[in-house]
Amino acid sequence: MTAFCVRDLAGHGLLRWLSAVLVLVAVIAPAAAAEPIVVLLDEARIIKIPDRAATVVVGNPLIADLSIQPGGIAVVTGKGFGATNFIVMDRDGAVLLDKTVEVQFPNDKIVVVYKGINRETFSCTPDCSRRITLGDFPEFFEKSMAETVVRNTQAAGAAATSAH
């Protein structure tokens, strides 16, 4: 009878150990799956997605954008500060992936100048020049944006002219 009790206790110990492991896996697996994808503002990041991906739904495209590429990869681009999610589905509408994306401030060499409550941002890589950054003083932002649009338009026109 003593051998029966020892065996019975050993069985309960193994059962408790297995239960503890299963609880740990149940707690850790969702936490690992819930890790957000961090991308910096105005930068892109390549991620792996299931090969069957056919459709992407982005929660807030003002914060991030995602485009599917061949070979089971996607490009996530940071468009605005904050967090959003994206859902990847197959052709039948089955959800293959549902992830959170956090867009954070870039970590390049930036100088932020405050003039009272007005903010201006400069990128100092390698020389300090205006940087179009969300949250800058509207007049500074709009002037920087207008200069960038004119420059890009001229560059596109010059490229088109040289191609002919």
Domains of the chain from N-terminus onward: 37-104 (2.60.40.1080), 110-158 (no CATH)
The pTM is what?
0.63
Q: Judge contact between 101 and 37, C-beta under 8 A.
A: yes
Task: Show the CA angle centred on residue 63, arms to residues 136 and 140, nearest 5°.
Answer: 15
Q: What are phi and psi of 43, to 5 degrees?
A: -125, 165
Distance CA 116, CA 113 (A): 9
Is the sign of the CA dihedral 152, 158, 163, 164 positive or negative? positive
Spatial CB neighbours of 69, under 8 Å, sequence gap ≥ 6: 75
pLDDT value, residue 22: 55
pLDDT tens-digit profile of 41-83? 889 999 999 989 999 999 999 999 999 999 999 999 999 999 9
Segments of the chain scoring below 70 in pLDDT: 1-33, 164
The contacts of residue 107 (CB under 8 Å, 6+ apart) are 40
